[in-house]
Structure 1
């Protein structure tokens, strides 16, 4: 059995449960999903400030998993960072040889395979510019636009879920009509449970980053692919860290 870890970098246990259930639903029968979130950090990730703190919580989870005794006999085959901001992905790749993938990168790769032009619909305007930077990083600027539905990330849980879905669908329809998008990418892990419904109602491919990242990581784990340590993702050299970060110091 292969094990993959799906880590929600924020403290929303509702989101963690949701993405874990989706991940386990779509993996093969020999793949085990570990759905986790840190023990500290923000409730949600909405913009650069939240992301900076959430990345430390993400790294704490990966450090614990990499040091666990079962790693010797049953190592983690890959990690999914279950946040569409791809929070801490590059740093996480320095901590482990297992492949690490964020939702945005995975979703963009899949969207480009099924459409020539697509739109990311994210909850809040504060996330638009950070996601545009990621789109550029992943080489999709000529194919992708980023729009906001004007709702909070946490609105996709509980009493506000219906209104959040309506706002999201309206913005997706605008992207299809005005931006000539041929597919919609859901710009939040908390939207993972609405992709099928939105696909049916919009009549175009709707890509959920959770599903895209989980299936890609599962494939990489099956193929035995590892993160290269030849350059940027090399293990960090030994040095002291101070204050509250002392325990995060690299051991070389």
Structure 2
């Protein structure tokens, strides 16, 4: 049995349930999914400011899971950071030897295998530039454009969900025409439940970052792949942290 932790870095319990349900629906019978979110941080992540604070909450969850009494006997096989901003992924890789993957990286790797050109459609304009930076980081700038639907992330829950879907679909259609996109990548964890609907409406591949990242981490866990501790993702050196961050001081 392989255990995968799917961590929503914000405090939306609705999003956490949604990504957990999606993850459980696509993994094999020998994979156990735990879905959780931090106890502190922003309600949603929209741009650099929210991301900075959400990263600390994410790290607190991973720290606690790695220190759990049953961790040695039943370790986490991999972590999925269920935010399309890939919030705190690099720092998380320094905390654990298990593989860690964010939704953006997972989705872009998978999209490149099924389309030569594709578009990320994200909720808010404030997220466009951060996602463009990630696209460049992952080497997909020549293949991928980023568009915003002009709705809030939390609009994909509750009474506004249908209106949010239609705003997203409108931008996806524009990208298929104007950007010559061949596939659409859903740029938010809260969109995980609309991929099939959008695929049916548009007739092109629609990549959900939750599904992409979970399946990739499941494969990596099954292959026994671990995060390298030589170089950038080495465990942080022992030192003292002060004030409210004292509890996050590296243990060496």
**TM-based fold match above 0.5:** yes
Offset, 1:160: 0.4
Offset, 1:97: 0.1
Structure 1 partner of 2:32: 32
Offset, 1:69: 1.1
Matched position secondary structure for 2:70:
helix
Offset, 1:150: 0.2
Aligned equivalents of 1:45, 1:168: Cα separation in 2: 18
Aligned equivalents of 1:119, 1:9: Cα separation in 2: 24
Offset, 1:70: 1.1
Give every structure 1 segment of 4 or more consecutive aligned residues whose post-TM-superposition deviation is greater than 2 Å.
none
Aligned equivalents of 1:72, 1:244: Cα separation in 2: 29
RMSD (Å) for aligned C-alpha atoms: 0.3
Offset, 1:72: 1.1
Matched position secondary structure for 1:53:
helix
How many residues align? The count is 252
Structure 2 portions without partners, runs of 5+: none
Equivalent residues in 2 for 1:87-236 (5 A)? Answer: 87-236=87-236
Aligned equivalents of 2:233, 2:145: Cα separation in 1: 29
Q: Does 1:64 align with 2:94?
A: no
Structure 1 portions without partners, runs of 5+: none
For normalisation by structure 1, the TM-score amounts to 1.00
For normalisation by structure 2, the TM-score amounts to 1.00
Structure 2 partner of 1:6: 6
Aligned equivalents of 2:233, 2:72: Cα separation in 1: 22
Equivalent residues in 2 for 1:39-58 (5 A)? Answer: 39-58=39-58
Matched position secondary structure for 1:87:
coil
Matched position secondary structure for 1:116:
coil
